[in-house]
């Protein structure tokens, strides 16, 4: 449905051609400083018309906060917000009144509901993501303020142009006995994950933080645009500073919630965390992340193939994952297909379309990541606080209790 989350919960409404799109964010902690600009920044990163790589629809997407805040402080009550739909131009889509766009949601929405919005795919519109981005910005504000958590997404590939990780790629060529060194994450990529900032990401329209690769990505997008075609890509996201212990066994493991969140973004087809698919080729002896004691006395892992999650629970290391976005379905190139009633014909979609969505997907990925972490953090806080109120545990073998827990735990 249109609600995501358990304790920090966002519910959205709206499609591309109605009066507004909006969201209700429920469960925001009271006492958080929050003004419209906190939300607007990410909305502006999401909106179209930012460069010649995206659709020229220039919608202002100005957020209007409705409730839940007074004097710039959250009250703990639901935050209602909305963004008016300004630039609707419904006639651009007239040809798609007859044709369901191949690989778009037009036909499946009609199958599902029996009726469809005049714009076609209804809630599959990219405008639906506005509510998510707004909600994510609020969650992120909290996470940054309280834990110093940093969430940065960037474009890691466009078509075949990849930001190098030096991990090679899943082998299709028979090479059964080669466990060679190519399968390691390069120090450069590790360093990028540890340090990349949104400023770096935004310094190039493609939102790839490597200028040389970014330039090649641009060319790839332009080539698609010139061909009235489209091209896909991937977004990688890193979350730094997450405390250990988040993620709910067994069905709500952190990676499961992240995958759910990410594959709910339009046009996504793939998700991997840590070493992902490539890690499946690496033997356990190389893939395991050994523990060590960090300078500050806390536990860490020497490597991070796990991507910050073990057994569905965060271990305090950087969480990183990658999402695959397919090439946009709406293209101006002629396509042989059939009409809703089965009549064969040729569809050439008019209107303004993104030849590549990954640059604009960056803030959406960040938003969904924020929502997942925030919700899991609240749930774990409930457990942790309630456990900390119990008397110290004296009956368990020491190996079953967190070192120091028996002493520090209770107050009785």
User: Which residues does the annotation mark as catalytic?
Assistant: 17, 104, 354
Site for a second copy in 311-340 (CB under 8 A): 311-316, 324-331, 333, 335-338, 340
Q: Could you give phi then psi for residue 140, rounded to 5 degrees?
A: -65, -40
Stretch near a second copy under the rule CB under 8 A, chosen from 44-52, 60-68, 191-199, 203-211: 60-68
Q: Please, which residue, 195 or 387, has the CB nearer to a second copy?
A: 387
Site for a second copy in 17-56 (CB under 8 A): 17-22, 24, 26-27, 29-33
Q: Please, which residue, 69 or 201, has the CB nearer to a second copy?
A: 69
Stretch near a second copy under the rule CB under 8 A, chosen from 53-61, 184-192, 202-210, 384-392: 384-392
Site for a second copy in 154-183 (CB under 8 A): 157, 159-162, 164-165, 167-172, 174-179
Site for a second copy in 238-277 (CB under 8 A): 244-253, 255-264, 266, 268-277
Task: Determine, following the binding rule CB under 8 A, whether residue 218 of this chain makes contact with a second copy.
Answer: no
Q: How far is the CB of 204 from a second copy (least distance, A)?
A: 16
Q: Please, which residue, 199 or 218, has the CB nearer to a second copy?
A: 218
Which residues neighbour 29 within 8 Å (Cβ) at sequence distance 6 or greater?
Answer: 74, 76, 142, 378
Task: Determine, following the binding rule CB under 8 A, whether residue 62 of this chain makes contact with a second copy.
Answer: no
DSSP classification of residue 399: G
For the CA atoms of 374, 376, 378, 382, the dihedral, rounded to the nearest 10 degrees, stands at -170
Q: Please, which residue, 112 or 194, has the CB nearer to a second copy?
A: 112
Cα–Cα distance, 267 to 260 (Å, whole number): 14
Residue 68: C-alpha distances to residues 40, 76, 378 (Å): 17, 7, 19
Q: Please, which residue, 97 or 202, has the CB nearer to a second copy?
A: 97
Number of residues that bind a second copy (CB under 8 A): 204
Task: Determine, following the binding rule CB under 8 A, whether residue 187 of this chain makes contact with a second copy.
Answer: no
The burial of 315, by beta-carbon neighbours within 10 Å (0-12 exposed, 13-18 middle, 19 or more buried), is given as buried
Residue 320: C-alpha distances to residues 100, 158, 162, 304 (Å): 36, 19, 17, 10
Stretch near a second copy under the rule CB under 8 A, chosen from 53-61, 192-200, 201-209, 373-381: 373-381
Judge whether 45 and 361 are in contact, CB under 8 Å.
no
Of 316, 311, 289, 317, which Cα lies nearest the Cα of 302?
A: 289
Q: Please, which residue, 205 or 316, has the CB nearer to a second copy?
A: 316
Site for a second copy in 97-126 (CB under 8 A): 97-98, 100, 102-105, 107-118, 121-124
Long-range contacts of 224-227 (CB under 8 A, 24+ apart): 224/159, 224/327, 224/355, 224/356, 225/53, 225/355, 227/333
Q: How far is the CB of 36 from a second copy (least distance, A)?
A: 11
String of DSSP letters for 156-193: EEETTEE---S------S--TT---TTSS--HHHHHHH
For the record, the structure tokens of 213 come out as 């690769």
Q: How far is the CB of 367 from a second copy (least distance, A)?
A: 12
Q: How far is the CB of 53 from a second copy (least distance, A)?
A: 15
Q: How far is the CB of 201 from a second copy (least distance, A)?
A: 19
Stretch near a second copy under the rule CB under 8 A, chosen from 36-44, 48-56, 197-205, 282-290: 282-290
Q: How far is the CB of 81 from a second copy (least distance, A)?
A: 9
Choice from 48, 136, 209, 232 touching a second copy (CB under 8 A): 232
String of DSSP letters for 14-64: --TTSSEEEEEEE-PPTT-B--HHHHHHHHHHHSS-SSTTS--------EE
Q: Please, which residue, 56 or 164, has the CB nearer to a second copy?
A: 164
Cα–Cα distance, 27 to 4 (Å, whole number): 12
Q: Please, which residue, 69 or 238, has the CB nearer to a second copy?
A: 69
Q: Which residues pair with 4 in a beta bridge?
A: 10
Which residues neighbour 382 within 8 Å (Cβ) at sequence distance 6 or greater?
Answer: 7
Site for a second copy in 124-143 (CB under 8 A): 124, 128, 142
Task: Determine, following the binding rule CB under 8 A, whether residue 393 of this chain makes contact with a second copy.
Answer: yes
Of 210, 253, 198, 127, which Cα lies nearest the Cα of 366?
A: 198
């Amino acid at each position: 449905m249109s609600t995501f989350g358990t304790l920090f919960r966002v519910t959205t409404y709206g499609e591309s051609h109605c009066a507004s799109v909006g969201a209700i964010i429920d469960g925001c902690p009271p006492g958080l400083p929050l003004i419209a600009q906190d939300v607007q920044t990410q909305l502006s990163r999401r909106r179209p018309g930012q460069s010649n790589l995206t659709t020229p629809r220039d919608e202002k997407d100005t957020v209007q906060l409705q409730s839940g805040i007074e004097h710039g402080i959250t009250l703990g009550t639901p935050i209602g917000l909305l963004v008016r739909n300004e630039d609707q131009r419904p006639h651009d889509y007239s040809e798609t009144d007859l044709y369901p766009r191949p690989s778009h949601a037009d036909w499946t929405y009609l199958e599902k509901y029996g009726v469809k919005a005049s714009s076609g795919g209804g809630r599959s519109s990219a405008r639906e993501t506005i509510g998510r981005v707004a909600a994510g910005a609020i969650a992120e504000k909290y996470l940054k303020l309280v834990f110093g958590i940093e969430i940065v997404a960037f474009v890691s590939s466009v078509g075949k142009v990849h930001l190098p990780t030096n991990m090679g790629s899943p082998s299709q060529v028979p090479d059964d006995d080669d466990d060679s060194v190519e399968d390691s994450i390069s120090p450069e990529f590790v360093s990028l994950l540890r340090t990349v900032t949104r400023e770096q990401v935004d310094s190039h329209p493609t939102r790839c933080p490597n200028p040389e690769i970014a330039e090649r990505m641009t060319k790839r997008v332009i080539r698609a645009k010139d061909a009235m075609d489209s091209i896909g890509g991937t977004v990688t996201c890193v979350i730094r500073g997450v405390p250990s212990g988040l993620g709910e066994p067994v069905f709500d493991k952190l990676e499961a919630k992240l995958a759910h969140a990410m594959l709910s973004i339009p046009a996504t087809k793939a998700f991997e965390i840590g070493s992902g698919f490539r890690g499946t080729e690496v033997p356990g002896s190389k893939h395991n992340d050994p523990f060590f004691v960090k300078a500050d006395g806390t536990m860490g892992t020497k490597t991070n193939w796990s991507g910050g999650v073990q057994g569905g629970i965060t271990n305090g290391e950087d969480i990183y994952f990658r999402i695959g976005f397919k090439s946009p379905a709406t293209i101006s190139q002629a396509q042989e297909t059939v009409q809703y009633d089965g009549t064969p014909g040729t569809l050439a979609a008019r209107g303004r379309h993104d030849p590549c969505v990954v640059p604009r997907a960056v803030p959406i990925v960040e938003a969904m990541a924020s929502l997942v972490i925030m919700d899991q953090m609240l749930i774990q806080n409930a457990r942790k606080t309630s456990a900390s109120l119990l008397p110290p545990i004296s009956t368990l073998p020491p190996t079953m209790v967190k070192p120091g827990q028996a002493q520090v735990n209770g107050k009785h």
